[in-house]
Structure 1
Amino acid sequence: MRFRAKILDVACLNHFTRVINTIAKLAKTCTLRLTPDKLYFILTDKVANGGVSMWCELSQGNFFDEFQMEGVAAEHNEIYLELTPENLSRALKTAQNAKTVKIKLTNKHCPCLTVAVELPSLASSSRIVTHDIPVAVIPRRLWNDFKEPSVPDFDVSIYLPVLKTMKSVVERMKNLSNSIVIEANLNGEMNLKIETDLVSVTTHFKDLGNPPWVSDGDSQNSTQDRDPETMAEARVDIKKLQQLLAGQQVNPTKALCNIVSKRIVHFILLHEDVYLQYFIPALA
């Protein structure tokens, strides 16, 4: 089992750093899945138990100048590692002006992702700063626990408003309540609502648009017979929503949300070479 990669391009390094910083805000620990073509950062807290889940997919060719890996076996050319993304984020903070960044899987008392940052120096030789990030290798028998989540059979799918605007609204609302109601319809309308014994506050968004999903078989058929005016809604933990909005550093070109009434809110954020899904379960 081997893995090594190298980043030379500063723009690619900065972009990769922003992605890792975003993931570090969303998950204390997560699974890094490596394949020959892609990297995946996966959080699989059981939604049924009130936990969020996350799936972030990157094409390695858009970030790395060199990328080599050998999985556990020829027929299973993948590697699954458990890590603390904050540790990787800290290591990359030292790489702001780096000439190169190398990442490889090593074994130093325990398995590690070793990040070697080559920094420019006035002397003829470069300075190299090395970070050893402990990881746990996930055995093959557990890989099925980390499959890509399926898009839920939603009641409403809607494009999100500008995330910075949504973030400022949610930050003000979180001082009033621990939960927030997200509701939307097929007319491109979305509301964020706080309702307590003392106060009721609603922010309205209009003309957001609804994504043109192509249904496979019966999937997503629940939207076809729905009255466009009818709102689908879910009450969620406001801190979990704020965490998603506050952590965003990749500036998605497309952001949308699928609502399964009273069950789950599913966010999809797209930015060229980054695909992030985030699931927040509804509160009872």
Structure 2
Amino acid sequence: MKFRSKIIDIGCLNNFTRVVTTISRLTKTCVLRLTPDNLYFVLSGKVANGGVGMWCELAQANFFDEFQLEGVSVKANEICLELVPENLSRALRTAHNAKAVKIKLTKKHCPCLTIAAELPTMSSVSRVVTHDIPVDVIPRRLWNDFQEPSMPDFDVRDFLRSLVSIYMPPLKIMKNVVDRMKNLSNFLVIEANMNGEMNLKIETDLVSVTTHFKDLGNPPWGGDGSQHSQGDQETMVQARVDVRKLQQFLVGQQFNPSKAMCNIVQNSILHLILLYEDVSLQYFIPAVA
């Protein structure tokens, strides 16, 4: 297995750093899946058992000036590495003004991602700062555990009634609301309908608080409005989630997405989707009873 890459463009380096910093705030460990065309940061939480899941996809050509990969075999031309994203984020932040950054898979005392940053100096002699980030190589037999998370299976007849897709309100506003609500309860109900309406609710024996959003709009994959009766469009689909997991997602964002959407599967999953230029980030929060 071989992997080496190089980033020269400072804008690409800063964007990549923001992505990795976001990942580091969402999870302590994750899997970095390398393919000839894409990079994926994967958190394979068992959503059905209460764990969160994450899938972040980047097109390598939009970030790297050089990218060479030889996977485990010709047929399986990929490399999967488990790492601590905070270590990678810290190394990239120290290289924010570098002339070039090289990232390669090396073998030191253990397998490592080696980050070599060429920093500007006052003299003609360049200064290179190197970080060795320990990684675990994921064997081929375990790769199926790190595929893109899927939505639960549905009875087709109940699909439209079971899921709502909606654009999210501005994330900063939503974060402020969730920050206040977390002081009232450990759980939050998020509900939405096909009329572009979303509610965030806290309900306890002592207090009931609801924040309403309207005119948010619904992505086209949420179902053609002609397929819904007026009653179906107004029907709320909801998921009750751990407020700390939702807050962690909102706090962790380091870039302003061009689109922020969510799918709510009735009493099952809150599926959050952020799109920003060359990056897509999906985050899955399981519903609780």
TM-score normalised by length of structure 1: 0.95
Q: Summarize the alignment of residues 81-230 of structure 1 with structure 2, pairs less than 5 Å apart.
A: 81-152=81-152, 154-213=162-221, 224=228, 227-230=232-235
User: In structure 2, what is the Cα distance between the partners aligned to 1:98 and 1:31?
Assistant: 26
Distance 1:47 1:151, change over 3 A: closer
Unaligned 5+ segments in structure 2 are 155-161
Per the TM alignment, residue 198 of structure 1 is displaced from its structure 2 partner at its CA by: 1.3
**Contact 2:12–2:64, Cα closer than 8 Å, also in 1:** yes
1:252 counterpart letter in structure 2: P
Per the TM alignment, residue 150 of structure 1 is displaced from its structure 2 partner at its CA by: 2.4
Q: Secondary structure at the match of 2:220?
A: coil
| Partner of residue 269, structure 1 | 274
| Partner of residue 157, structure 2 | none
User: In structure 2, what is the Cα distance between the partners aligned to 1:149 and 1:36?
Assistant: 21
Per the TM alignment, residue 250 of structure 1 is displaced from its structure 2 partner at its CA by: 2.0
User: In structure 2, what is the Cα distance between the partners aligned to 1:124 and 1:250?
Assistant: 35
RMSD across aligned positions (CA): 1.6
| Partner of residue 243, structure 1 | 248
TM-score normalised by length of structure 2: 0.93
Per the TM alignment, residue 213 of structure 1 is displaced from its structure 2 partner at its CA by: 1.1
| Partner of residue 63, structure 1 | 63
Unaligned 5+ segments in structure 1 are none
1:73 counterpart letter in structure 2: S
User: In structure 2, what is the Cα distance between the partners aligned to 1:214 and 1:173?
Assistant: 28
| Partner of residue 17, structure 1 | 17
Relative to structure 2, which stretch is displaced further, 81-90 or 118-127? 118-127
1:191 counterpart letter in structure 2: N
Which structure is higher in helix share?
2
User: In structure 1, what is the Cα distance between the partners aligned to 2:283 and 2:108?
Assistant: 34
User: In structure 2, what is the Cα distance between the partners aligned to 1:151 and 1:62?
Assistant: 28
User: In structure 2, what is the Cα distance between the partners aligned to 1:43 and 1:150?
Assistant: 13
Number of equivalences: 279
